[in-house]
Amino acid sequence: MDILKYSEIDLSETIKRSEQDVNNVLGTVSEILENVRVNKDHAIREYTEKFDGVLIEDLKVSKDEIKEAYDTLDDELLTALKQAAQNIEKFHKRQIPSSWEMEVNPGVVAGQIVRPINSAGCYIPGGRAAYPSSILMTVIPAKIAGVEKVVCVTPPQKDGKILDAILVAADIAGAYDSKSGIWKVGDLAKGESATLNIVVLVKTTNKTIVNAANATSDTYDPNEDNNKCNSSITVPPEADLVLTIEPSATKVTVGDKVDFTITVVNQGPDTAVNTRAYVKLPAGLKLVNFKPSKGTYDPKTGIWTIGDLAPGEKVTLILNTKALVSGKFVIDAYTVCDTYESDLTNNNDTTEIEVVEPEVSGDKSPAKGVPANTMHATGNPILMVLLALLSIAGFSLRRKS
């Protein structure tokens, strides 16, 4: 390690970061990434041999290597790593954000859901400069956040091994294996305690989950009755209601009939208890008839009482209406139930129809200069002439007689 005296150096040159243009290496890096993506471990072994000068057969560190690192690591450094890990853990536990929600309007819920990512990769410098603290400052926050899979990578030494401090720091930081459920606490002095904070994402509903733990050590324990404990949580049932409105037509004439089909589906995974929907027609539409496939509909209140909906069950309400006046009319509806719903964005729907006046018939009066075909009270004009002639002939016959 070089020791620099402040009075003998140019500080601006010492702390200046590299200003090298990286654009000329982007093509090479892209080729490396593509090769690793396609050829996976085989490509990594080739690049390790090329750049690090060592051929690695097993890319995963073994338990024996970790144990050997503990045996050879300086005790003071081990104590410092453990203390640093505790400090980092305390700090980042205070940083964990919490989920929350609020009802901004009746039936409208907004909020924040905090969920960890599934996996995280941590690069640990181990070549010219080795920083075991990098493991503590990357892995521990990821574990506290609830990241299920954390993978660390670091360059090997010329002998193909990893520095002892890096291996021990990795073991301290990621001492809990989520797959096996084993938490490697290490040595505990009298009165000393250790805490493991596990954040999980519940992927089931309507069940009671029991988490059991058991502590053991290589030292004789005269009282093992208090080495076990369990905790249980009850996950409530969950439903997901979806409501849609479909009109039979979006543009009609005054006096026409319009049908509205309101559909409610429960996407589960559990039963939606006491499901009901609200849909009321505007004043310009007259309700002629209604037909719910399940439950009852009250046209005065607009409440459609559906009842319990099983997962995957679909129900419909058909409203037969008649357009009374012209204009644009908006029909909206929403549905709720007593079962918890994590997604309320699809519980309502809106549709709009336009009602127009009927077309007025054109003027059928005769054109100017054309005599109207006027009908007399007696009927057809020709028939009138014939009747007149017969009347005159009959009058002449009577006079001659």
In this predicted structure, what is the pLDDT of residue 89?
A: 86
Q: Which residue has the higher pLDDT, 217 or 129?
A: 217
Q: Which helix (H) or strand (E) holds 39?
A: helix 26-39
Distance separating alpha carbons of residues 320 and 289, to the nearest angstrom: 5
What pLDDT, in 10s, does the model give residues 276-319? 999 988 888 999 999 999 999 999 999 999 999 999 999 999 99
Work out the angle at residue 57's Cα, subtended by the Cα atoms of residues 54 and 59, and round it to the nearest 5 degrees.
Answer: 95
**SS3 of 91-144:** HHHCCCCCCEEEEEECCEEEEECCCCCCEEEEECCECCCECCHHHHHHHHHHHH
Distance separating alpha carbons of residues 173 and 167, to the nearest angstrom: 10
CATH 2.60.40.1530 placement within the chain? 241-356
Name the nearest CA neighbour of 279 among 256, 307, 302, 260: 302
Q: Under CATH, which architecture does the 60-186+194-201 domain have?
A: 3-Layer(aba) Sandwich (3.40)
Q: Which residue has the higher pLDDT, 174 or 137?
A: 137
CATH 3.40.50.1980 placement within the chain? 60-186+194-201
Contact residues for 306 (Cβ-Cβ < 8 A; gap 6+): 264, 275, 276, 277, 292, 294, 295, 315, 335
Neighbouring C-beta atoms of residue 10, cutoff 10 Å: 8
In this predicted structure, what is the pLDDT of residue 265?
A: 96
Region 232-252 average pLDDT: 92
Region 112-138 average pLDDT: 85
Mean pLDDT for all residues in the chain? 83
In this predicted structure, what is the pLDDT of residue 375?
A: 44
Residue 396 has pLDDT above 60, yes or no: no
Q: Which residue has the higher pLDDT, 133 or 24?
A: 133
Q: Which residue has the higher pLDDT, 385 or 251?
A: 251
**CA dihedral of 16, 21, 22, 28, whole degrees rounded to 10:** -140
Residue 374 has pLDDT above 60, yes or no: no
Q: Side chain identity at 27, as an amino acid letter?
A: G
Strand, helix or coil for residue 152 = strand
What pLDDT, in 10s, does the model give residues 184-240? 776 777 887 777 777 677 878 888 988 888 888 888 888 888 889 988 888 889 999
Q: Under CATH, which architecture does the 241-356 domain have?
A: Sandwich (2.60)
Q: Side chain identity at 179, as an amino acid letter?
A: K
